[in-house]
Amino acid sequence: MQRERRTAGASLAARRRHLLRGISARDPRSARVWAVVALMATVLTNVVSGAVEVRGVPVLEVAGALALAALSAVLLRVSVDRAGPLIVLAPLAGVATIVWLDLATHDAGVTGQVFFIVPVVWAAAQLRTGGVAIVTAATIAGEGVVVWTLLEPRQAATDFAYLTVVFLLVSGVLTRAAAAQERLVDRLREQASIDPLTGLWTRRVLDTATARAVQHRVAEASLVIIDLDRFKTINDTYGHLGGDAALTHVAELLTGHCREADVVARMGGDELAVLMLDCPREIAAHRAQQFVDAVRSTPLHLPGGALVPLSISAGLATLSPSATRAEDLYASADAALYVAKRAGRGRLSAA
C-alpha cells in the first residue's frame, strides 16, 4: 500500500511539474526582468489614472498599485526556477488592471480597448504555449466584460468579435514563431553539447560538470582522462576513417562500462574523459581499470576485414580538499596520464 501511495505521489508530482512547465516562461531569467518592468509600468499607469477617488484619495488605484508592487517583489525574491510558473501572473495582472481602468473611466473606445493587445503580445513572446493560452483566454474574457458592460449589445458584439479574432491571430502567429525559434536554439545547444563523431558529451559539458562538482565539494568525484595509444599510427595505417572508427569504438566501450550519471566526454582529438560522481576512490580506480582492460580485449573490426588491436592510457584523479578549481582536478588527472604513458602505455595510473 505504501509503495502504491509513493508511486501515485510520484506520478502526481510529475504531472504537476509538466503542467507548471507548460505555463512557465521560456527563459525565466529574462522574462522575470521584463515582467517586473511591465508591472512597474502598470503600477505607474494605475496610480496616475486617478479614476475613482474617495474623499480626494484614489484608494482603489493605490491598493491596486500596492498589489502589483507586491507581485513584483515576489518575482524578484524567489529563485529563477520557481519564478518561471509565477511569471504568468504578470500579464494576468495587466489584463485585470486594464479591465478596472476601462470600467472606472467608462472608456470602451479605441483608447480603452487597444491596451488589451499588450498582455497577449507579451505572453506570446515570453511564455510557453500553456501560459499563452491562459493569458489570451483571460484577455478575451476581460475584453468581453468591458464591451458588454459599457456598449450597446450590437456594438459590443462587433467589437468583441473583431478583437477576439485579432487576439487569437496575434497569439497564434507569435507563439508559433517563438516555438520554432526555441526548437532551433535547443538544436544548436544540443549540437554544441554532443560530439558529432562519437556521440559523447563535449568538453564544454565536461567543464561545467567538473566545475559544479568542485564548487559543491562532491567528496566522491573522480576524473579519468584517457588517451588512445598510438593514434597517429592508426591514422597513418588505416586512414582518417580508420582513426574515426577507432575513436567511435573506444567511445562505445567506455559508454558501455559507465553509469547513466557518469559524464563521458571527448575533450578533443584522441583524448577522452570520464567524470564519475558519487563513486569512492577504490571503486573509481577499479572501473577505470575496466576501461583499460575492455579496450585491450576488444579489437576494432574494420569493414575491410582488418582486425586492429587498440589500447588506452588513463590517468585517474579524485577530488581532494586542496582542489579549489576544476583546473586542479584536470591537472592531477593529466599528470597521472603522463605517468601511465611513460610507463609504457596501455595502463592506468592514479594521482
For residues 333 and 316, the answer to whether their CB atoms sit within 8 Å is: yes
Residues pairing with 265 in the sheet: 201, 273
Can you tell me the distance from the alpha carbon of 134 to that of 88, in angstroms, rounded to the nearest whole number?
A: 8
Q: Which runs of consecutive H residues, i.e. helices, occur in the chain?
A: 2-23, 28-49, 59-77, 80-86, 89-105, 110-113, 117-126, 129-150, 153-193, 203-215, 231-256, 281-297, 326-342
Could you tell me the CA-to-CA distances from 146 to 121, 153, 195 in Å, in that order? 20, 12, 56
328 is catalytic: no
Run of H or E residues at 202: strand 201-202
Q: Beta 201-202 vs 263-268: how paired, if at all?
A: parallel
Map residue 57 onto helix, strand or coil. Answer: strand
* Sheet of strand 222-228: strand arrangement: 201-202, 263-268, 271-276, 222-228, 312-318, 348-350
Out of 227, 270, 293, 328, the active site residue is 270
Is 190 exposed, middle or buried, given 0-12, 13-18 or 19+ CB atoms closer than 10 A?
Answer: exposed
For residues 164 and 143, the answer to whether their CB atoms sit within 8 Å is: yes
Can you tell me the distance from the alpha carbon of 107 to that of 80, in angstroms, rounded to the nearest whole number?
A: 38
Question: Of 122, 64, 49, which is closest to residue 96 (Cα–Cα)?
Answer: 64
C-alpha cell at position 76: 524578484
Catalytic residue numbers? 270
